[in-house]
């Protein structure tokens, strides 16, 4: 359904945002549980390259039919991430990691499979990179189990929760750092207890500055303010917004 | 499967010695070329990550004469012709049908419709 597609697309966008990738640089990303390639499509739109893994041949067939740009692998993440050390600039996963908690016909227990997944993922990622895993935990025990195995594997970081007060909009992103202890980005909708997912803060006042694509004119004050907000959401250090922000400077010569 | 993926891929069959899962040997029954937009900066930044010998070997095993030098020469970052050739080998050549063989265990992973099947069986 198109609503499902839209939600997947929004979560992919948020996950890539949380990766905090360097600006204007094409990166190599891993998409765990890539399915039919919806999240991969977003990665491609952002100009990055990706390799996807999924356990479902049927979903991957759809991805092949759709001619997604990423390279695909039929694999079980619980068996490990089969790459040489330090190969990826980042990893995202949309609605897949909680499946490792299912005790299915495999003889290995969920904690073992989770640990194998996290430890091999840790190895496959480059130093200073991140893994952002959106998931639907069944309960707090599951959340704790997943987080514990991730920490055991060497990751730092933690859970970013968007819209924690909305039953409908609440989303969990496990945000994991490799080799650095970064600042955990802030969840969306954590400042006000609103039920609706927030639009970009500047929308109402500044519509007249938006161009056809719905984006602010590049380098305008709105663009600068939006960019600073985006960087704050990524957990980066940003100067406070003042009356001087985006002010026209004296021409230098 | 692209040759970039192949160069990064290491067999996850349990119980291998360190490094024993790389490189997987390609047996290709069907190969195709699919154009991909060229990004020089991206290709350039891939070079330090690649295992160059394995890449040349893989390109040759696909029945293509090796267009790559024995080693990336100093200053490759600015050599557009080299980067374009590397881009072609890494991202535009795809193995559609065939298999990958783990060097240490001999275990084969089939490739179908361009997707390698890396699923392990119950007893692995």
Query: Over the stretch A66-93, which tens digit does the pLDDT of each residue have?
Result: 999 999 999 999 999 999 999 999 999 9
Q: Which residues contact B95 (CB under 8 A, 6 or more apart)?
A: B1, B6, B26, B28, B30, B31, B62, B111, B114
Cβ contact (<8 Å) for A74 and B116?
yes
Mutate to test the interface with A, among B10, B19, B103, B123 (most CBs of A within 10 A): B10
- CA nearest neighbour of B87 among B3, B23, B1: B3
Cβ contact (<8 Å) for B119 and A55?
yes
Q: Which residues contact A41 (CB under 8 A, 6 or more apart)?
A: A9, A12, A68, A69
Domain range for A230 is 213-246
Q: Provide, as residue numbers in chain A, all residues whose Cβ is less than 8 Å from the Cβ of B114.
A: 64, 71-72
pLDDT of residue B63: 79
Mutate to test the interface with B, among A68, A82, A112, A125 (most CBs of B within 10 A): A82
Residue A253 falls within a domain, yes or no?
A: no
Average pLDDT on A112-141 reads: 95
- Work out the pLDDT band at A212, boundaries 50, 70, 90: low
Q: Indicate whether A230 pLDDT > 90.
A: no
Q: How many CA atoms lie within 13 A of A188 on its CB side?
A: 25
> For chain B, what percent of residues have pLDDT higher than 70?
98
Question: Chain B closest CA to A124's CA: distance in Å?
Answer: 9
Total domain count for chain A? 2
- CA nearest neighbour of B52 among B67, B65, B66, B70: B70
Nearest-CB residue to B115 (from A25, A64, A87): A64
* Predicted ipTM of the assembly: 0.96
Residue A194 falls within a domain, yes or no?
A: no
Q: What is the pTM of this model?
A: 0.82
Residues A227 and A105 in one domain: no
Q: Hey, what domains does chain B have and what are their CATH numbers?
A: 3-116 (2.20.25.10)
Tens of pLDDT, residue by residue over B46-98, are: 999 999 999 999 999 997 766 899 999 999 999 999 999 999 999 999 999 99
Block residue for tokens 């990706």:
A50
> For chain A, what percent of residues have pLDDT higher than 90?
62
Q: Which residues contact A240 (CB under 8 A, 6 or more apart)?
A: none
Residue A252 falls within a domain, yes or no?
A: no
Task: Mark which of A120, A155, A178 sits at the end of a domain.
Answer: A178
Tens of pLDDT, residue by residue over B4-34, are: 999 999 999 988 898 889 999 999 999 999 9
Average pLDDT on A140-152 reads: 95
A51 touches chain B (CB under 8 A): yes
A66 touches chain B (CB under 8 A): no
| Angstrom distance (rounded) from CA B71 to CA B6 | 18
Residues A88 and A36 in one domain: yes
- CATH code of the domain containing A83: 3.40.50.150
């Amino acid at each position: 359904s198109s609503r499902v597609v839209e939600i997947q697309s929004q979560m992919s966008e948020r996950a890539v945002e949380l990766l905090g990738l360097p600006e204007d640089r094409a990166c190599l990303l891993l998409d765990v549980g890539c399915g039919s390639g919806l999240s991969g499509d977003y990665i491609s739109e952002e100009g990055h390259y990706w390799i996807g893994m999924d356990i479902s041949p049927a979903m991957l067939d759809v991805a092949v039919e759709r001619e997604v740009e990423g390279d695909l692998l039929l694999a079980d993440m619980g068996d490990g991430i089969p790459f040489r050390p330090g190969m990826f600039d980042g990893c995202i996963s949309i609605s897949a990691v909680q499946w490792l908690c299912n005790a299915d016909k495999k003889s290995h227990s969920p904690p073992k499979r989770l640990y194998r997944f996290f430890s091999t993922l840790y190895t496959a990622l480059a130093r200073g990179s991140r893994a952002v895993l959106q998931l639907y935990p069944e309960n707090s025990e599951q959340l704790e189990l997943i987080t514990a195995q991730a920490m055991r594997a060497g990751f730092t970081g933690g859970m970013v929760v968007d819209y924690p007060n909305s039953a409908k909009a609440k989303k969990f992103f496990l945000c994991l750092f490799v080799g650095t202890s970064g600042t955990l980005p802030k969840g969306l909708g954590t400042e006000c207890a609103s039920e609706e997912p927030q639009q970009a803060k500047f929308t109402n006042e500044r519509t007249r500055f938006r161009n056809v694509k719905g984006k602010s004119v590049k380098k305008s004050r709105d663009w600068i303010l939006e960019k600073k907000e985006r960087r704050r959401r990524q957990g980066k250090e940003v100067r406070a917004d003042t009356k001087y922000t985006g002010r026209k400077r004296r021409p230098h010569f | 499967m692209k040759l970039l993926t192949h160069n990064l891929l290491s067999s996850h069959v349990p119980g291998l010695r360190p490094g024993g899962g790389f490189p997987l040997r390609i047996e290709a029954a069907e190969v195709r070329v699919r154009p991909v937009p060229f990004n020089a900066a991206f290709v350039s930044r891939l070079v330090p990550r690649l295992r160059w010998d394995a890449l040349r070997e893989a390109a040759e095993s696909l029945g293509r004469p090796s267009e790559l030098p024995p080693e990336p020469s100093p200053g490759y970052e600015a050599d557009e012709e080299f980067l374009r050739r590397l881009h072609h080998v890494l991202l535009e050549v795809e193995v559609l049908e065939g298999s990958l063989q783990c060097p240490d265990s001999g275990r084969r992973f089939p490739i179908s419709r361009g997707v390698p099947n890396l699923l392990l069986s119950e007893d692995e």
